[in-house]
Amino acid sequence: MWRMTETPRNFNPEPYPYHHELELIVETLTNLGHGLARDNNWVVMVPFALPGERVRARVFRNHKNYSDADLVDVLEPSPQRVEPPCPLFGQCGGCQYQHLDYTGQKEWKRGQVVDLMERIGGLENVVVEPVHGSPKEYHYRSKLTPHHPNRQSKDFPIGFLRYGRRNQIIDVPQCPIATDAINEALPIERKKIHAKKEKFKRGSTLLLRHTLEGVITDPRATVSEQVLGKVYEFQAGEFFQNNPFILPELIEYVLEQIGRVKLRYLVDAYCGVGVFALSAARHFEQVAGVEINAQAAEQARVNAAANGVTNATFTIGKSEAIFASLSFPGEESAMIIDPPRAGCDEVFLRQLLDFGPKRLVYVSCDPATQARDLKILQAGGYQIERIQPFDLFPQTRHIENVATLSRA
């Protein structure tokens, strides 16, 4: 796995001219899903190219220590290369791996986690389990948010950012990673947007959320999802995991890891609408959750009552605020943390170490920030028992990662 901090030695002192073409052998994939090749020790990034392939690429941008190039032709394809089912793949910026078979996707995502744990987390001889794959490789995503610009023409695009173009939207009439119900609703909602007569001031985002109530487009609407026998209410525009097909398996794994040692109390930081807390509540005497989003915290309380959970309380506030009100002793407590992409802040981690829960399960949508936090937790007296990636987003470079820790 290539590291962006490395600068090639003896690199070509003259940048390539614009649209210069060259043949390259792709060495590896970066954490962004780009193919990486070298020409006379100069690094060239070629999106949508796979390791081992000989390709023709066209340079369009030079940086201080590498160049960006478009893939022109695959001269010798990888045995793992497959035909992307989406006609917009390579133009739409939503997917990075439709050209790579699913076994290959999981292998490279595992390698990505290993690299981040070693390089950022400082873990030596790290063991990362094989990626737990999604039951559905396509048509799994239950939330889609296409964008559209200011009204410029009769048929302005409604879709996603064009690959490599920050301000250009590509029209996406169908999306193969979205659920069938969303793809059925998408043409209808696109017609409604096109039919509006007023000009959009700064463009907008269209929401399509597939729930028990159907496909909902009002971000303020209260909707519900059923997971492992419990029904959870949440606002359609707020966070809820977007792959309902793998979510039960992720929750069951977290419950299995948190329950390996019998403890009395559970703390769920960044609890959202209470999915982890309420799923695990029957295994603990008391459960305490905290959520900075007031609406989500209130719905966690509603969800507890609706599902007959009486031993869980939820607090509105920053994640570190939970420790001030805890009466649980750390040595008799387990903790689940599922922070946003930025990971945990320093104040929270310091208070967590002071509290000292006996067992800790850290769920992350960004293994890079998770690796940074794991380094701090290890230094504070925790040992890592297991690292298990889950592929919540097939065909993309994203990976969910679960780390299990115990108090040394």
Place of tokens 């936090």: 373
Say if residue 76 carries a ligand binding annotation.
no
How far is 267 from 240, CA to CA, in rounded Å? Answer: 19
Q: Could you give the maximum distance between any two Cα atoms of the chain, in Å?
A: 68
Q: Sheet holding 159-161: strands in order across?
A: 169-171, 159-161, 147-148, 204-205
Q: Are 24 and 37 in contact, with CB atoms under 8 Å apart? A: yes
Could you confirm whether 365 is annotated as catalytic?
yes
> Would you state the structure tokens that stand for residue 362, as one six-digit string?
């850290």
* Region for residue 122 given its phi and psi (left: phi exceeds 0; alpha: psi -120 to 50; beta: otherwise): left
Q: List residues bridging with 169 in a β-sheet.
A: 161
Say if residue 241 carries a ligand binding annotation.
yes
* Torsion sign over Cα 134, 137, 140, 144: positive
Say if residue 23 carries a ligand binding annotation.
no
Say if residue 137 carries a ligand binding annotation.
no
Please give the positions annotated as active site. 365
Please enumerate, by residue number, every residue annotated as part of a binding site for S-adenosyl-L-methionine. 241, 270, 291, 338
